[in-house]
Amino acid sequence: MTKLEKAAALHASGSSCSQSVFVPFAEELGLDPRLAHKLATGLGAGCGRQQLVCGAVSGAVLALGLALGSEEGSEAAAKEATYEAVYDFVERIKAEFGASDCRALLEGIDLREPAGKAAFKERGLSDRVCNPIIRRCVELLEEELRSRRPA
């Protein structure tokens, strides 16, 4: 199963956007997929339904950190390289989707309110917004990580 297929299957089975993006990369990056699923839980719906940074984007940021990040505070070069990769990643998402925050992407609805949850379903936002962003985050992550592998 490809990472795109895994991400789609995770989201369809009830995993959040952050989990759906992060988990397919976890094992390849040396992290147990179940632990990855658990770690990404709180990032769903823009950080615990606060609708801040999109969960799919947050899941991608976790994967970038796991792949590129510093293991110690003294590793300034790794930290800077990770910041640059994350910045570029988020900018690409904003350019393609118009925003990187959950609330804006979901047309301003409030996922903490019953009316917002209903509107999310009625408008088909999971299929129209979340699934395409999850798919694109996985594609961009694959491109980024492939470009950083030695030839």
What Å distances lie between residue 56 and 21, 37, 130, CA to CA?
6, 13, 8
- Name the pTM for this structure: 0.95
pLDDT at res. 149: 62
Q: Containing domain of residue 26, as a range?
A: 3-144
Do the domain assignments include residue 10?
A: yes
Residue 151 has pLDDT above 60, yes or no: no
Do the domain assignments include residue 150?
A: no
Query: Any residues with CB less than 8 A from the CB of 129 and at least 6 apart, and which?
Result: 105, 106
Do the domain assignments include residue 47?
A: yes
At 42, give phi and psi (nearest 5°).
-70, -15
Residues 6-15: tens digit of each pLDDT: 999 999 999 9
Do the domain assignments include residue 149?
A: no
Number of domains in the chain: 1
